[in-house]
Amino acid sequence: MHIALYKPDIPQNTAAIIRLGACLKLKIHIIEPCGFDLHDPRFKRVAMDYLGFCKIFRYKNYDKFINKNKKKRIVLMTTKAKKNYHRFNFKKNDILLFGRESAGVPESLHKTIKNKLKVPMNKKTRSLNVAISVAIISAEALRQNNLLK
């Protein structure tokens, strides 16, 4: 199972997602540029020694990410989706794409990605923390594919 982060803004969130990836054997794809330096002490403090237990792929931009992952299905997680994540059939090699904390993904990406999902939430709230969203959705995707061991 794959998690992709589109130009992440917050080092602590990215580090928490990498730590989650290490614990759940998720492959993490980081689409740059990031809103922080990967040597940022806030990033290292949260990631701790988990970096070595997680496969991390870095891409200079979205086009390079797409070119390297042409055969995988990309599933965009967005508050703008109509379909809830628990009503979707995940596949083992799906890439679950999460947008920037500050702005999501550009409209141009929304138009090119067929599968878009959301976590149902209280209508009075704006969004979940991206690391929490990754945990919720990846757990369901792993469960569906019998990959939680």
What is the tens place of the pLDDT at every residue in 61-116? 999 999 999 999 999 999 999 999 999 999 999 999 999 988 899 999 999 999 99
Give, for 117, the enclosing helix (H) or strand (E): strand 115-118
Query: What CATH superfamily classification does 2-144 receive?
Result: SPOUT methyltransferase, trefoil knot domain (3.40.1280.10)
Tell me how far apart the terminal alpha carbons of the chain are, to the nearest angstrom. 13
pLDDT tens-digit profile of 20-58? Answer: 999 999 999 999 999 888 777 777 777 777 888 899 999
* Residue-range domain boundaries for the chain: 2-144
* Residue 148 contacts residue 139 (beta carbons within 8 Å): yes
